[in-house]
A and B are shown apart, each in its own frame.
Chain A
Amino acid sequence: MSSESNAGNARPGRTVTIDPVTRLEGHAKITLHLDNEGRVADARFHITEFRGFEKFCEGRPLWEMPGITARICGICPVSHLLASAKAGDRILAVAIPRSAEKLRRLMNLGQILQSHALSFFHLSAPDLLLGMDSDPASRNVFGLMNAEPELARSGIRLRQFGQEIIEALGGNKIHPSWAVPGGVREPLNSEAGERLKARLPEALETVNGALDLFRKIASRFEEEANALGDFPSLFMGLVAEDGSWEHYDGKIRFVDADGTVVGDGLDPGDYRSFIGEATENWSYLKFPYYKPRGYPDGIYRVGPLARLNICERMGTPRADEAWAEFRKNGGGRPVSSSFHYHHARLVEMLAAVERIGILLDDPELVSEPFRAEAGINRLTGVGVSEAPRGTLFHDYTVDRHGILQKVNLIIATGQNNLAMNRTVLQAAQHYIRGSTIPEGLLNRIEAGVRAFDPCLSCSTHAFGQMPMRVALFGPEGERLDERTRD
């Protein structure tokens, strides 16, 4: 949400600051630079947090890393837990028990479900259902509860279901220290499995209801779909061996804006050979890019939109249908508008619910062993997982006893950094013209960022809450206006 003082105050040659940006995970601000004619010349999405996990993990034993790095995020601790445990698997040089892999997959699906439910129902539904121009004071989940109580309730319960899967496996809804190098600590007990199965029909109904709702309202947002980050880019993510949607393992695939596979079967462990990281002096977030295309042309997007654009099918019947319908948005090519991240999230929720059902019926889920024991057999290891927001890499170097020497974390939100900046610029150029900036238009710029569901605390590895600032700078760099929201 942007502050009142900025609305209606877009003198030429100024900078508008939206600070803080609301309804996303972390601290950020947006600055819009206007030229002498009052048109948006440049726009930047600044991440203003700093954390330092990569540094203070040095010196810790490998086996503690999943528990420590899970603390990076309260929304997607499971992604860090899994990427970290997988980096550990590589360093132990073990193939983990099949049951352990299935249990890890189950937990990741629970997390994708709860995180996507949070993004859609709690954070973005207020824009989509109450309207981009509705009163900022009630344009939030509480306003949604008043206006659409049943929808809000079912969305909250869907998130709860995802959280319960995590809790049933890991003992805690948030920050379970459950996946370990070599496998997992505990299996799912049968009582919890039955309890979760009983909740599946309701979860399926909620996701289907949300998809129906999105179909109905999508036509209202055609302008947003064109203005909020609709640009050609590469898409990156994991795909399964058979080309279907993948969230835990598999190989990396890059697809370009035309749908051509430009990189395939890439080993996530070799990410350095195909991903470069650039830095800019105005953000704590790094700017990863696809190396063969260089910086900044190698811009790529990750997350739900990318995963659905790179795969050939979802792999479960209902989700396959929903995927085919989603891909129609692209007209035979990848879906390019970042606004469709919302739609992609709904398709992934459907896939998650279906796959959770399949896993809960799998007898192998409870067959011992669950953990492979081994010592330090390699000094480096890269772990990868598909976090709700995109591909996550944990890259560790240890000494021969297993003490961390070097840690590099490549976070999904970081990989969308270039795309989010381009989205902000595109939205600002589309909406800010002339001398007035209505609040609703600033909210649309925020919504452009919100579509990515960025987790800034994760990506910069920071502490704090999640507000945003927008500043308006003149051509000489002077600050003309600024809005802050706590």
Chain B
Amino acid sequence: MAVNTFTLNGELVSASPGATVLEAARENGVEIPTLCELEGLSNIGACRLCLVEIAGSPRLQPACVTATTEGMEVRTDSERLRQYRRMILELLFAERNHVCPVCVANGHCELQSRAIDNGMEFVRFPYQHPDLPVDITHARFGIDHNRCILCTRCVRVCDEIEGAHTWDVAGRGTGSRVITDLNQPWGDATTCTTCGKCVEACPTGAIFRKGSSAGEMEHQRDRIRFIADARSKREWTP
């Protein structure tokens, strides 16, 4: 099979045709920070945390949706990239109310981990402190919009894996919210199958199992890839 050969952080590497920069980097043991990406789901390049430098391109490109090409030169780490990544994280923290010490996902949160990994020591932007609701009308799960970063993993996993499409996004800009059905309380959303995939996929404590106390909400995010893999390999189909 033909492969693409390209330069990754100064090293010559190869990738299968059609592989994204992110996939190729992972195959070659290079970590690129991500947030909205989750293995098993489609990629949308929403969070911009995986931005990389590509020689000849004036713009930074999101690694999760940029295909590798023969001869490309990619840099995944530079002072400029680190600055942008910190800024993205700071903006996410400033936009809603992320109070780590009392969050159900404290210690198990991808936003928190990325902030630590990327050296985000403070937030330079004014906190917006929006007044956002918590919906725990569902029998088993809850959504706290204060902690949502609009990654849309819940929307994608519900649509692409479960096929229920209970979740969607309403509103524009900072007024955007993930919603269930036609913006009804989750407990009234008749399309929800209570499968819990959105709970496992959520990178933060925004979607949680009811009854979770601070730091208690652990996600099994690799379950989504497990299901997607099993389905693509037709492991459950005779």
Contacts and interface: CB of A to CB of B under 8 A. Distances in A.
Interface of A: 59-61, 63-64, 66-68, 71, 175, 177, 180-181, 185, 373, 401-403
Most chain A beta-carbon neighbours within 10 Å: one of B142, B187, B211, B215: B211
Given A64-B102, A64-B104, A403-B134, A177 B214 contact: yes
Interface string B100-113: 01101000000000
Most chain A beta-carbon neighbours within 10 Å: one of B101, B104, B212, B214: B214
Contacts of B215: 67, 177
A64 B213 contact: yes
Contacts of B101: 67, 71, 175
A57 to B, nearest CB: 10
A59 B133 contact: yes
A403 B133 CA distance: 10
B134 A68 contact: no
Contacts of B137: 401
B213 A63 contact: yes
A61 B216 contact: no
B214 A64 contact: yes
Interface string B210-222: 1111111000000
B227 interface: no
Contacts of B142: 61
A67 B210 contact: no
> Nearest 5 A-B pairs (CB), nearest first?
A67-B214, A177-B214, A68-B102, A180-B213, A401-B136
Contacts of A373: 211
B212 A63 contact: yes
B188 to A, nearest CB: 12
Interface residues of B, number: 17
B23 to A, nearest CB: 37
A177 B216 contact: yes
Interface string B59-99: 00000000000000000000000000000000000000000
Contacts of B136: 61, 401-403
A61 B212 CA distance: 9
A384 B3 CA distance: 68
Most chain B beta-carbon neighbours within 10 Å: one of A63, A66, A181: A63
Interface string B102-136: 10100000000000000000000000000001101
Nearest to B215: A177
Interface of B: 101-102, 104, 133-134, 136-137, 142, 144, 187, 210-216
B150 to A, nearest CB: 20
Given A60-B134, A64-B213, A180-B211, 12 more contacts: A59-B133, A59-B134, A63-B211, A63-B213, A64-B104, A67-B102, A71-B102, A177-B215, A177-B216, A401-B187, A402-B210, A403-B136
Nearest to B137: A401
Nearest to A172: B215
A317 B187 CA distance: 55
Given A59-B134, A61-B142, A403-B134, A68 B214 contact: yes
A373 B209 CA distance: 13
Contacts of A175: 101
A181 to B, nearest CB: 8
15 contacts: A59-B134, A61-B136, A61-B210, A63-B212, A64-B212, A64-B213, A64-B214, A67-B214, A175-B101, A181-B211, A185-B213, A185-B216, A401-B137, A401-B187, A402-B210
Given A61-B142, A175-B101, A67 B134 contact: no
Most chain A beta-carbon neighbours within 10 Å: one of B104, B133, B210, B213: B213
Contacts of A401: 136-137, 187
Nearest to A373: B211
Contacts of B187: 401
B133 A67 contact: no
A403 B210 CA distance: 11
Contacts of B213: 63-64, 66-67, 177, 180, 185
Contacts of A181: 211
A64 B213 CA distance: 5
A103 to B, nearest CB: 15
A185 B217 CA distance: 12
A67 B217 CA distance: 13
B129 to A, nearest CB: 10
Contacts of A66: 213-214
A325 B213 CA distance: 44
Contacts of B216: 177, 185
A402 B141 CA distance: 12
A185 B144 CA distance: 22
Contacts of A185: 213, 216
A69 to B, nearest CB: 9
A429 to B, nearest CB: 45
B194 to A, nearest CB: 15
B228 to A, nearest CB: 31
